[in-house]
Structures are given as C-alpha cells and as structure tokens.
Amino acid sequence: MLTRLCRLALEVKYVGSAREFYETRLGLVPADESDTEVAYDVGETTLVLRRPTAVPRGGIHTHYAFSTTREAYEGWVERFSELDPVEFSFGSSRSVYVYDPDGNCVEVGGTESADSADAGGAVGPDGAGPLTGIFEVVLEVADVDRAEERYRALGFEVVDEGAERRRVRLSGPVDIELWEPQLGIADARGGVHVDLTFAAADAREAVDAGAPWADGPEDVDGGLRVRDANGHVLTFRDGRC
C-alpha cells in the first residue's frame, strides 16, 4: 500500500546551528532551503529541518536512523568520537547514536553491504562512508495496541516487540517503532508530532485504510494529509514523492 518514505521533517529552533551539525558532522548537502527550513536528500528520503512557524511542525526529540554500509560504519564511530556516542549491536548489525542540537537522537547503522548501497547524493565527511537512506523512525504513542492496528492497516508488519508490549517495531517502506513514553537506547525518546510523507499506490485507499483520523484528510502537496490521534501528521502521495 505504501511504497516509499518520501520525507521526514524535524523541528529545529535555529536553522543555522542545525545546518552546521547536519552539514559538517554528517556531510549532507542542501537540496532546497529557505529562511525557515532546509531539505537534504538522503537516498530515497528527504530530511527536512524546519522552524516552528506554521503547521505541520516537524517532530521534536525524534529518534530516527540513517543507514550506511557495514564497511563504512567504523568511520562514523570515529567521526562521532567528540559527541559522546553510544554504540549498540543488533546481531550482525551495529549502530552508533548521537544527539543533534535540538535533542533528536540520530542513529547511524551499518546495515548494508557496499555492493547494494546507493548513496543518493549524500557524501560522508572525513572518510566516513556515505549515508544511504533513513531506515527507522520512532513515534511516541499513547497506546501501542491502537497505533499498531492503524499501521498494520496501512500494510506494515510487526517484526519485534518489547516487554509488556510498550514498544512495537513494524516493517514497511521504513521501519516504524511505536513507543509508549519511555527512554530507549542512548536515552532516546519517541518523536512527538512527527511529520511523515509516504508514496502510496493509492493515496485515498491509504487514508481510508487507516481511518478514523483525528483530522483530515486535507488536499495538500499533491496528496492527502491527515493527523492521527497521537498528533503525528501523515501525507500520502499517489505513487510518487
């Protein structure tokens, strides 16, 4: 039903300091910019940093993950050495966690082989290999069971769950983790009022599948925008980003 994560938007207080982190520390190159926001293409997904001047706002204290190659991973650990990083292993995959100036927990995971990776225009800084995409976003929800029901209706599949089902991981065009309020690895928190845009085989079908919504649908940006009961904003676009 949903075929691609087109966009993840984060709220930043000061665009300048946020840009310094993402461009200097992560080597991202602006694809579009204005006085209130800047956008970066990372693989198939656009990361947007946005000042809170209107709705939808970007997500706050969002935990999300960039992918890189397993071969490039150690370069990112070295690159983050001055930022008090936290490392964690998931079987054969490893991840390193740091925080941006606005309190978002930024993960870089060595999840891909060099042969399969597509840098998508992003170039890693100082010998760290390129970031190849965004593979995970964590959303804070009031009730995991209810939120899981909606994402399963949108075509996601449960692949893991935490103790007492206060955390559920679902796989789709991006991995979505649904967390009731808690601290995760590196004391990360789930994102609040996160703004996500997806490509969909049929935007209206996606809206209908996930209904009821707290607000919308609204015709916007060549697609349909809704807001769920947890305040997260989802935009569905017909077959494109």
Q: Which two tokens stand for residue 19?
A: 């840009």
- At 126 the pLDDT is 64
Q: Could you tell me the fold of the domain covering 2-6+53-238?
A: 2,3-Dihydroxybiphenyl 1,2-Dioxygenase; domain 1 (3.10.180)
Q: What are all long-range contacts of 149-153, with beta carbons under 8 Å and residues at least 24 apart?
A: 150/210, 150/228, 151/176, 151/178, 151/210, 153/209, 153/210
- Residue 82: name the closest of 70, 66, 99, 67 by CA: 99
Find where tokens 């599948």 sit. 209
Q: Where are the beta strands (DSSP E) in the chain?
A: 2-11, 30-33, 37-42, 45-50, 63-69, 86-90, 93-99, 105-112, 133-140, 157-161, 167-171, 175-179, 195-200, 215-220, 223-227, 233-238
Name which residue leads in pLDDT, 125 or 222.
222
Cα–Cα distances in angstroms (integers) from residue 154 to residues 2, 3, 204, in the given order: 7, 11, 12
Give yes or no for residue 41 having a pLDDT over 60: yes
Report pTM: 0.93
Q: How many CA atoms lie within 13 A of 72 on its CB side?
A: 27
Find where tokens 């870089």 sit. 108
What's the pLDDT band for 215 if we cut at 50, 70, 90? very high
Give yes or no for residue 84 having a pLDDT over 80: yes
SS3 229: coil
- At 218 the pLDDT is 97
Give yes or no for residue 119 having a pLDDT over 80: no
Q: What phi and psi values does residue 91 have, to the nearest 5 degrees?
A: 65, -120
What's the pLDDT band for 113 if we cut at 50, 70, 90? low
Greatest Cα pair distance in the chain? 48
* Sequence spans of domains, the chain: 2-6+53-238
- At 210 the pLDDT is 97
- At 124 the pLDDT is 59
The distance from CA 11 to its chain's CA centroid, rounded to whole angstroms, is 12
CA distance 34 to 232: 24
Percentage of residues in the chain with pLDDT exceeding 90?
A: 85
